[in-house]
């Protein structure tokens, strides 16, 4: 695993947008694994900009998002469905709604949404690329510390640390859903290539622990040491704290 300092969020977002663009140019039927959260807010406008500039046909591309809050309608302003449509899918012609996969946070109780999503992931093949953020506690997707490395997509409980971090996006802290449907750690590891982005002071501790190389279920992101094609992209703030 290599850690690269691209100095700031903007440069890192352009780098990642170019990686996504190249993935689609190399394979117009590519499968992209996408993430949400504050880390990604500059990525999707940059990616859209490059798609426009290169007049890329994305109609054959499939996307899989990592997670969705349980209990929120897709149309809820804080749902990850809304996040992705506002920032990416509604911004460029050609994305096919039927090729956009986001876990259903409001699925019927009779449906095992985790199993449905995991099966779909397997039917489609391996994602060509997976973009990841990281939680302050080292989670990837919403796989919190202690999650089995064998985990597949399922409904997971969010820890107080994650609920607190995500509360900035909601009017009241109590409004943050307590659970999410998240791709599991073994699901994430199926991608051919992984780019993990981390910016700012709040992520220093998680990246410092990741950089030790120790592999432990207490630091979910540490599973990435077992993947042969992972880049960790950080900014100056994190890099300088580590050196």
Binding site for ligand F6R (CB under 6 A): 35-39, 66-67, 133-135, 139-142
Q: Which is nearer to ligand F6R, 56 or 191 (CB)?
A: 191
Q: Pick the closer one to ligand F6R by CB: 1 or 181.
A: 181
Q: Is 150 exposed, middle or buried (0-12, 13-18, 19+ CB in 10 A)?
A: exposed
Q: Where are the beta strands (DSSP E) in the chain?
A: 2-5, 31-34, 62-65, 67-69, 100-101, 129-132, 154-157, 179-182, 194-198, 230-234
Per the annotation, the verdict on 137 as an active-site residue is yes
Q: How far is C-alpha 15 from the geometric centre of its chain's CA atoms?
A: 16
> Does residue 139 have an active-site annotation?
yes
Q: Residue 54 CB, nearest distance to ligand F6R (Å)? A: 26
Q: How far is the CB of 32 from ligand F6R (least distance, A)?
A: 13
Residue with tokens 């352009």: 14
Nearer to ligand F6R, 36 or 222 (CB): 36
The reply to whether 67 belongs to the active site is: yes
| Residue of 5, 65, 67, 99 marked catalytic | 67
H/E run at residue 199: none
Q: Which is nearer to ligand F6R, 126 or 169 (CB)?
A: 169
Q: What b/e sequence results for 6-42 when a residue is b if at least 16 CB atoms lie within 10 Å of its CB, and e otherwise?
A: beebeebbbbbbebbbebbeeeeebbbbbbbbebbeb
Q: Specify whether 90 is catalytic.
A: no
Question: To the nearest whole angstrom, how small is the minimum distance from the Cβ of residue 35 to ligand F6R?
Answer: 4
- Least distance in Å: CB of 173 to ligand F6R? 15
Three-class DSSP category at 210: helix
What residues act catalytically? 67, 137, 139, 144
């Amino acid at each position: 695993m290599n850690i690269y300092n691209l100095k700031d969020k903007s440069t890192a977002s352009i780098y990642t947008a170019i990686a996504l663009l190249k993935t689609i140019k190399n394979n117009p039927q590519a499968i992209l694994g996408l993430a949400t959260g504050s880390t990604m807010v500059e990525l999707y406008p940059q990616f859209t900009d490059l798609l426009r500039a290169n007049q890329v046909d994305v109609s054959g591309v499939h996307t899989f998002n990592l997670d969705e809050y349980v209990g929120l309608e897709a149309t809820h302003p804080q749902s990850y469905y809304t996040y992705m449509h506002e920032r990416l899918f509604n911004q460029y012609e050609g994305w096919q709604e039927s090729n956009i996969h986001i876990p259903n946070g409001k699925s019927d109780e009779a449906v095992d949404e985790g199993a449905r999503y995991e099966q779909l992931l397997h039917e489609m093949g391996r994602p060509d690329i997976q973009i990841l953020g990281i939680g302050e506690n080292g989670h990837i997707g919403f796989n919190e510390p202690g999650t089995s490395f064998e985990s597949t997509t399922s409904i997971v409980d969010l820890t107080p640390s994650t609920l607190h971090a995500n509360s900035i996006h909601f009017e009241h802290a109590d409004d943050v859903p307590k659970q999410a449907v998240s791709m599991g750690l073994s699901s994430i590891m199926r991608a051919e290539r992984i780019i993990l982005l981390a910016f700012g002071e709040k992520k220093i501790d998680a990246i410092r622990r990741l950089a030790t190389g120790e592999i432990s279920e207490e630091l979910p992101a540490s599973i990435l040491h077992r993947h042969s094609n992972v880049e960790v992209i950080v900014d100056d703030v994190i890099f300088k704290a580590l050196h």
